[in-house]
Amino acid sequence: MYCSKSRGAMPARLLSLLAALLCSVPLAAAPAPAGSQAAQAEAVSDAERKAFFDFYARTFPDDHGEQPVFGPRAAGAGLVAHVDSPPRRGLRALCRMERRVFAYQNGWTVEPVRRQFVWIEPNACTRAGQPVALQSPMPDADVLGLLERERAMLQSARLLFGGNSQCARQRALNFSLAGIVIGTSGSSTEVLAGLAFRSDRNSSATVWVRRSGLDYTAWNVSCQ
């Protein structure tokens, strides 16, 4: 448990994907507004798209059923894209998904490790939810426990915000959960789970959670 003290030819199906021009690369998989999609589509050249599908077909010849999502091109930065696996059911209402992330800078490359995303959806797992990035492998029961309690942990951490000079000004902001991380907090060497939140003011805060049996406690906070 995380709170222990030690802590050549392109397949026809791929060609059919060329019609998909798409939204940004957020942690969540929600579609971008139509105007935003059009702007991003214009930012991706035909040569870059063709190079992507050529690279994907060579690298993953048996995996070409999902559509890529191209991200906006930041000033001075290369193009990015991602391809998500179909969502799958975990424990009870837990849903899991894997994401391959690609970058283009004089040619396409792919991150060697697929990123993991989780969310709660009681019915069939779809991408309609708000996927949360999972930094490290974690058992379904632990992930589900954290997701089910994330609002309660944030609320109980508001007092901790007030006592932390880096976090005090963010105490009353609106937050949404962006990721679950594993690490240490402050000078302690105890390994904890962290609920990483993003605020409506483009700042971030991590609520470090300690578990004892079935109880979860907001133990510390850190902010940027």
Question: CB under 8 Å to 129, separation ≥6 — which residues?
Answer: 95, 119, 120, 121
- Per-residue tokens: 179: 């990721």
Q: How confident is the model at residue 181 (pLDDT cuts 50, 70, 90)?
A: very high
> What are the pLDDT digits (tens) for 45-66?
888 899 999 999 999 998 877 8
> pLDDT by residue (tens digit) across 185-207?
877 888 999 999 999 998 999 99
> What span, in angstroms and rounded, lies between the C-alpha atoms of 119 and 131?
5
- Report which of 135, 138, 134, 139 is spatially closest to residue 119, judged by C-alpha positions: 134
Please compute the mean of the pLDDT values over residues 208-221 and round it to a whole number: 92
Q: pLDDT band for position 217 (50/70/90)? A: very high
Share of the chain above pLDDT 70, in %: 78
Quote the pTM value: 0.76
User: What is the C-alpha to C-alpha distance for residues 113 and 100, in angstroms, rounded to an integer?
Assistant: 8
Sequence-ordered list of residues with C-beta below 8 angstroms from that of 206, at least 6 positions apart, any chain: 181, 194, 195, 196, 197, 221, 222, 223
- Phi and psi dihedrals of 66, rounded to 5? -105, 150
pLDDT given at position 106: 83
- Quick one: 213 exposed, middle or buried, by C-beta within 10 A (0-12, 13-18, 19+)? exposed
Q: What is the pLDDT of residues 96-146, one digit of tens each?
A: 999 999 998 888 999 999 999 999 999 889 876 679 999 999 999 999 999
On whether the CB atoms of residues 39 and 22 are closer than 8 A, the answer is: no
pLDDT of residue 74: 64
Grade residue 36 by pLDDT with cuts at 50, 70 and 90: very low
**pLDDT for the residue 25:** 33
Which residues make beta-bridge pairs with 117? 97, 133
Cβ burial, residue 170 (10 Å; 0-12/13-18/19+): buried
| Cβ proximity of 140 and 187 under 8 Å | no
